[in-house]
Amino acid sequence: MSFLSTPRMAIRTPHRVVELGGRTRLMGILNMTLDSFSDGGRFVTGPAGGIELDAAVAAARRMAEDGAEFIDIGGESTRPGSREASPDEQCRRVIPVIEAIRAAGIDAAISIDTRSAGVADAALAAGADIVNDISALRHDPRMAEVCARRGAAVILMHMQGTPETMQVNPTYSDVVAEVADFLRERVDAASAAGIGRDRLLIDPGIGFGKTHEHNLALLRHIDALHALQSPVIVGPSRKAFLGAIVGETDPARRDLATAATVALCAAAGVQIVRVHNAAMMKQVTSVCTAVLGEGNLP
């Protein structure tokens, strides 16, 4: 891997133009779920799944203050083996949070993590900027139309299989080439559906239908994705392959391992990293920016 300057690009959303480049940005994770692998149940509690709205908004504010320029909100766990949550359940969990974040004046761009067109539509109406679709617009046939009509930015992620099946013997001949080819095809498909190229981001899907070796290969060659000429977002935070490397079974204790991958991503010119611990990762990206000589420290 060679050290690369982070390519400069602009992403258009319904509410703002987000300038990228010069340094790696942070996307903070706000899971409104009961069973996400690292922080499930933190803001949705009890048998009925009650929403801890004030706590969720406070967490979003802390992320923004700690340096997260994006906040990714999801109401459905997509950890290996998880089952799909209904659109109504997702909306019950996430729409009040998006509305409350906007009412609180928190200025971070909001990403809605969903495969459902109905959830995406409601979230965008409530103030979200980006749709983070782990199926890359393949799960819900209405998703591309909703994103195009709303003017949303869209994250297209690679995943082999579904969350329920993705870790059942994932197989590739050349994982880097196959992931790149898939993302190229999905960018073309999204563009053909009326979503502008300046609204598209790509994600190799670390941990989604990959073995530990596949994840390492993708990180080792993550700079290859810049050839697709869309901003690259990577989400390695606290994932199982890091636990396997450092011998840590508790996801919450994998932040130092995450920091190493964030530094590697920054050195490879990745525009955005999706993380749980924004404060720690802001230190990492700030040091990387200083060392790499970008001159864009805030």
Q: Is 199 among the catalytic positions?
A: no
Q: Which of these is catalytic: 25, 150, 239, 282?
A: 239
| CA-closest candidate to residue 114, choices 156, 74, 80, 146 | 74
Q: How far apart are CA 213 and CA 241, in angstroms?
A: 8
Burial of residue 88, with CB atoms counted within 10 A of its CB: 0-12 exposed, 13-18 middle, 19 or more buried: exposed
Q: Is 282 among the catalytic positions?
A: no
CB 110 within 8 A of CB 98: yes
Q: Which residues contact 238 (CB under 8 A, 6 or more apart)?
A: 37, 38, 251, 252, 254, 255, 257, 258, 276
Instruction: Mark 268-280 as b/e (b = at least 16 C-beta within 10 Å).
Output: bbbbbbbbbbbbb
Calculate the CA 253 to chain-centre distance: 20
Give the up-direction half-sphere exposure of residue 211: CA atoms within 13 A in the CB hemisphere: 9
Neighbours of 106 (CB within 10 A): 17
Instruction: Mark 14-42 as b/e (b = at least 16 C-beta within 10 Å).
Output: eeeebebbbbbbbbbbbbbbbebbbbbeb
Vertex 136, ends 131 and 138: CA angle to 5°? Answer: 115
DSSP codes, 50-103: EE-HHHHHHHHHHHHHTTEEEEEEESS--STT--PPPHHHHHHHHHHHHHHHHH
DSSP 106: -
Q: Which of these is catalytic: 115, 254, 274, 282?
A: 274
**Catalytic positions:** 239, 274
